Amino acid sequence: PRLPPMDKQRRRLTVSHTDGPPLLDDDSSPTGGGLAKDARDQLIEDWGVADLFNWAEQGNLRAIALLTMTDRVGKDKGSKEDKDEFWVSQPPNEQWLQDALGVGWACRKGCKPEACNQDCLSILAVEDMFEFLGVYDGHGPYGHDVSEFVCRELPKKFLKCLGKNVLSGEGDIEAALKESFLGIQAQIKERMRDRAESSGTTVTIAYHSVGKNKVWLAHVGDSRAVLGNADGSKAKALTVDHKPDLEGERRRIEQAGGRVIFDGYFNHRVFAARTLAPGLNMSRALGDIMGHEEAGLSAEPEVLELDLARDLAQFGLGGGPGGDVRLVLCTDGVWEFIEDSEAFKIMARGGKATPNECIRDLTDCGWRKWMEDSDNEIADDITGILIPLR
């Protein structure tokens, strides 16, 4: 089938068109700004982490919950600027997340003047017990609402599924992750169908159990997770981008009545049988209700379990001159132009940089490559989280 003319500047972006309702005014978003209060107890209640903080306090352990939220100034936030973030920590200082755990993070607005930053990130951690990290790349007219909803609700759902086992890594982690993804998709359909009909988000989650020395990854979409040596000598992708032209993905889409069509530029895209929508360049996502109901999209994540003592050696990572191993989660604002191995070389910097400096170096490079490709006209939102796995 022949596609209608496509905006050339969208040839690398997730959706092939911008048709749909206009973006909301800054004050009208039901999920943006309501949590921007100084009341620590209110934040803990809204984010569903009250039990987590109580468990940490009982064990005299430090804990933190950090989330990004839709910028108060909306689309007027400047390009490359950081997204608004909120955190609660025990003790009340987020600096230990860098100093003690070595976590770095950045969520930066792209060069898209008509839209706000649609990426989000979330970090939950109890020192010496676990970290739960997530990156979310929204798309569509209300993609910022969907990514923010998932950023807040999915960690809450995972905590509810595992209960106190989240501290130890006991229980069926894979089942908890799948239940969390599918449960949030059901919540989206129930609570925000009007906004998520043609808007959605990628999700990539990493749950690291310190005691088990294991990492579980779960993802839908094309926000990638990559392991690599801190010195940049080697890298290993852990997730496969969910693209419509992959054999299994195409089969599912077509069996559900959807179509996969090459757009003439860089992407195969998903369309329903009787309309040139949703036009997504990915085959799995949360939200995107029309695509799920009419075009064969899936909300079920792929889950990977890593035994670090065994698998790092098999991957040839860690030990020797390579030093510490790092796990990086990034949206495709990074991966569109940067290869996995190149990313770790960019972040290496002789081991002298802080975690946030490392991840900002990577997002800076992603930004420059987008601008070079588009003659300084467009860059995607760019988000990344870095954590060492010693």
Cα separation, 298 vs 114, in Å, equals 29
Which of 4-13, 23-32, 124-133, 249-258 has the weakest average pLDDT?
Answer: 23-32
> Of 2 and 364, which is predicted with more confidence?
364
The pLDDT-based confidence of 114 (bands split at 50, 70, 90) is confident
pLDDT of residue 90: 87
Is residue 27 predicted with pLDDT exceeding 70?
A: no
The pLDDT-based confidence of 29 (bands split at 50, 70, 90) is very low
The pLDDT-based confidence of 33 (bands split at 50, 70, 90) is very low
Q: Identify the structural domains of the chain with CATH numbers, from first to last.
A: 37-234+302-389 (3.60.40.10)
String of b and e for 103-112 (b: at least 16 CB within 10 Å)?
A: bbbbbbbbbb
Q: Tens of pLDDT along 13-25?
A: 554 444 433 333 3
Q: Tens of pLDDT along 294-340?
A: 999 999 999 999 999 999 999 999 865 445 899 999 999 999 999 99
pLDDT-above-90 percentage for the chain: 79
Q: Tens of pLDDT along 228-269?
A: 999 999 999 999 999 999 999 999 999 999 999 998 888 999
Which of 39-48, 78-87, 190-199, 332-341 has the weakest average pLDDT?
Answer: 39-48
- Asked if 125 contacts 96 with a C-beta cutoff of 8 angstroms, the reply is no
The pLDDT-based confidence of 227 (bands split at 50, 70, 90) is very high
Is residue 116 predicted with pLDDT exceeding 50?
A: yes
Which pTM was predicted? 0.90
Which of 79-83, 89-93, 164-168, 325-329 has the weakest average pLDDT?
Answer: 89-93
Q: What is the mean pLDDT of residues 355-363?
A: 95
Name residue 384's beta-bridge partners: 106, 330
Q: What is the mean pLDDT of residues 145-162?
A: 97
pLDDT of residue 338: 97
